[in-house]
Chain A
Amino acid sequence: MTGVRRVDVAVIGGGPAGVAAAVTAAEAGAGVVLVDGAPRLGGQYYRRPPAGSEQLSRGRRRHRWRAFDGLEARLEELVAAGRLQVLPGTTVWSAEGGSPFLLRTRGGDRDPLAPVGLLRARTVVLATGAHDRQLPFPGWDLPGVMTGGAAQALVKGSGVLPGQAVVVAGTGPFLLAVAATLLRAGGRVVAVVEANTPHRLLTRPSELLPGLGRSGQLAGFAALLVRHRVRYLARHRVLRAVGGDAVGAVVVARVDGQGRVRSGTERELACDVLAVGQGFVPQTDLAVQLGCPVGTGTDGGPAVTVDDLQQAGVPGVFAAGESTGVGGAELALVEGLVAGAAAARRLGLAPAVDQDLLRRRQRRVAGLRRFADALHRTFPADPGWAQRVDDATLICRCEEVTAGRVREAVTGLGAADPRTVKLLTRAGMGWCQGRICAEAVDRLCPPPPDPAAGTARMLSAAKRPLAVPVGLGALAAMDGPGPDPGHPGAGPAGPSAGGSPGPRPLSTPDQPRRDQEGPTP
């Protein structure tokens, strides 16, 4: 087992929110560790290949990277000065409350026996991001069908195009970003298939204003599509992906305001990749583990509830970026800054950011949130999906459970909520623990009587004691003897003579620490 690291601030997630928070807190004098699962910081948005292999990427760096580059330069200075430590390729799989917080980490998948890492932190900033939101359709499990995020990550992180001919489909402005990434890398985009009506956004100028920068960016994407003669099919939906061992085409059709297909508008688009997404689902596993209040965001997904200091409801825990509700990279940067400053202030430090600027940032957060909400209202994720999806459609990819089996559990076996459906069908019990299918299963259940009940059952599904699977051998090694096994204060745990263990303290007060009084050096 590796030693226990003790820090003032543990920032989880190396995207824009996490980097901004880490830099802000470290510049204020806090001892900071930034933990990220990827080999290089940047998150999904600023994804790049690992250091030393940048030339893999085909596109050209643009001026819009400056905001992140600036942060990263400051981060490198802090790292060089020993004031900030980055743990790349490291995933926090469990977060436990208390004083200090206890985070358990692991490395990559290659070695299930690799020891568990322990991190004790006085404050925690959750910047865990989001993943693409999916609603199943026939053929969505065919190889070649992937999320928009997957297509982007391939290009940005590995310099590889996902295929020769890509259909980008689903809803939301992210579809344009995916298409633009593919086009700039020299890829061919067959069509962008948008289920909603983007120009509705223009009817809400007051909400648009704060997002002007992003609107301009979207206009740029649109121009790029025109330049490459990419078909943009608004109010069109993917009906199914077809193919034998992999996707060969997608069938799309025009839909009305309720998402119903207009007869005679079906058409088949040949492709070898379908990049699909309906927006994003915030990663809230660690927030739920820590007991932070999680509510329903404007896009219907879970979102960590935060105040204007990004405090997440549990003293010492802050959340920033997509985990507090999907809002884009600029919002994430600003929230990260606010969270980092607030975490430092909680430790009795004075953040370098002055109060006026901080207040302006907080107002900016509010404006960008309004813009994000407007986007979510403009690009809803197929409200009529549950009524239309046919019984043969796969819902849970891991355990191979169809919509028909979920419906049978509901109508035949009396399941009224996603958890009971899971227990009866195994939907959501596989490798991904329902991260992909949770929303689909929830929608196939009887509707909750009120929003609070809806949030409750979403939360129940979002409760995952492990944020990522852990090798049993690694877990076993956490069991004593040892000075600091998996639990605070647990002593050596040798076998007792009778073969039966004696009583063992389940919880003892944490040892006094040198750094109790002030920030770590």
Chain B
Amino acid sequence: MTGTLPTGGLPTGGLPSGGPRTGGLPAGGGRADPRPAPRSRSGELPRTVDAVVVGAGIVGAACAHELAVAGLSVLVVDRGPVAGGTTGRGEGNLLVSDKEPGPELNLALLSLRLWREYGDLLGPGCELEAKGGLVVASGPSALAPLFRLAQLQRAQGVIAQTVAPDQLPAIEPELVRGLAGGVFYPQDHQVQPMLATAMLLRRARVLGGAEVVTGCEVIGVRRGHGGEVSGVVTDRGTVATPVLVNAAGTWGGQLSRLAGGPVPVLPRRGFVLVTEPLPVLIRHKVYTAEYMANVASDDAALQTSTVVEGTPSGTVLIGASRERVGLEPGMDWSVIARLAARAVEVFPVLARARLLRSYSGFRPYCPDHLPVIGPDERVPGLFHACGHEGAGIGLAPATGRLLAAAVTDRRPELPLTPYSPNRFGADDAT
């Protein structure tokens, strides 16, 4: 799984890649090296810091923010630009509705609370919006499990309102008629993920003195006599640090191997379709009950479900496909046609809307569908904060908070055990 880099600047972690580096620049249907000009905000890397966060996506930004606020000197490095990886490919969903009861939902609920705080800290520019999520079922066979899930979620504190078929049009007037019913989740939020990332990093910089260096690739990790992290080697120099935070998202598996503490994070590709700007035809995030089954699936083959939502800019975003095809960035029009077909089935009005663009992104997938957060017992000083699959934007603040607690040896707001990098067997971590 090396070689081609994904489209348009996806890489987040500092990872050696077999992809083309310079010169020649074959466009390669998305195979050109997308990395932009290296550029350092500070000009030079600091010699020594309390913590190096690898990855300037939303999770890295949240970790850096929480660590900086906790008083640590932090350096964020990224091979690509700010929010250039999966963050820049996401829709910005902060969902509780799609979370299985248990540790992931716990993380989502904590995150939701923290996102509201972040919303106040960052201001309206990050476009945080309590848009609400509506999960619909096409037939009774899909409705029953949806209701069961909602019941379990309620027990964990989620607000989940059962919606009868005749109430659906009042919530979403353009929804196709004849659905079996649904569940409405008023706590589901949306944020503009790229802006939120950039604003969080700015805040970490301004308030906490964090440094952010983009276009800087990690090529090695220094270890002390006890095997502990002692420094990070980049293509722009070496930084001494006792703490390395792996927030490299989809590339977190590669970085973890470089650091000597492998975790099984794999890319799971998804396409997003973007329509022309429309009036507010779709008010909430609307998805079909099948989405949950696909999220929870381990199947490598293509799975599609219908996820449709409007954005403040007017464009409607359509997903969601999941397939494990490595880091293959090319367009696959059969997948895109299927996503379009399903969106039009649920919202017939969309048939006449035009697709302006489509892009693929890579979710950092973990076999047990839980993120990897916390200290790696194999390598003292190595902390992971990756593997959030499609929920990284939503789970970022809680991840940052728990990670910072682990680094600073404070009591975390949730037990870390379910997310621990030490939960994998030797066979998983390849």
Contact = CB atoms under 8 A, between A and B. Distances in A.
Interface of A: 94, 96-97, 104, 112-113, 287-295, 313, 399, 409, 412-417, 419-420, 423-424, 426, 429-431, 433, 446-450, 452-453, 455-457, 459-460, 462-466, 469-473, 475-479, 485-487, 490, 493, 498-501, 503-504, 506
Given A420-B83, A501-B338, 11 more contacts: A113-B351, A414-B214, A416-B215, A419-B8, A424-B194, A469-B354, A471-B353, A476-B344, A499-B290, A506-B325, A506-B332
A62 B109 CA distance: 75
Given A291-B26, A504-B302, A446 B356 contact: no
Which 10 A-B pairs rank lowest in CB-CB distance, beginning with the nearest?
A: A417-B36, A473-B351, A487-B334, A503-B301, A469-B354, A479-B341, A478-B337, A413-B198, A476-B341, A475-B340
Interface in B130-162: 138-139, 141-142
A460 B31 CA distance: 10
A113 B344 CA distance: 12
A399 B276 contact: no
Contact of B214 (A416, A460, A472): A416
A473 B347 CA distance: 11
B354 A470 contact: yes
Contacts of A413: 82, 195, 198-199, 202
A26 B345 CA distance: 44
Given A446-B39, A460-B34, A96 B338 contact: no
Given A293-B24, A414-B214, A479-B341, A420 B29 contact: no
Band of interface residues on B: 35 or more
B201 A463 contact: no
B355 interface: yes
B37 interface: yes
Nearest to B34: A460
Given A414-B201, A472-B350, A479-B341, A104 B27 contact: no
Nearest to A447: B37
A472 B343 contact: yes
A145 B214 CA distance: 39
Contacts of A416: 36-37, 39, 81, 214-215
Given A416-B37, A463-B30, A469-B355, A490 B334 contact: yes
A469 B302 contact: no
A452 B313 contact: no
Interface string B80-107: 0111100010000000000000000000
A94 B331 contact: yes
A460 B359 contact: no
B304 A501 contact: yes
Nearest to A93: B355
B109 to A, nearest CB: 28
A431 B340 CA distance: 19
B33 A506 contact: no
A284 B344 CA distance: 31
B135 to A, nearest CB: 14
B352 A112 contact: yes
Interface in B316-345: 318, 323, 325, 331-338, 340-341, 343-344
Nearest to B26: A293
B6 to A, nearest CB: 11
B356 A466 contact: yes
A291 B334 contact: no
Contacts of A294: 25, 27
Contacts of A292: 27
Contacts of A499: 138-139, 141-142, 290
7 contacts: A295-B25, A416-B37, A426-B313, A460-B36, A464-B357, A472-B340, A478-B340
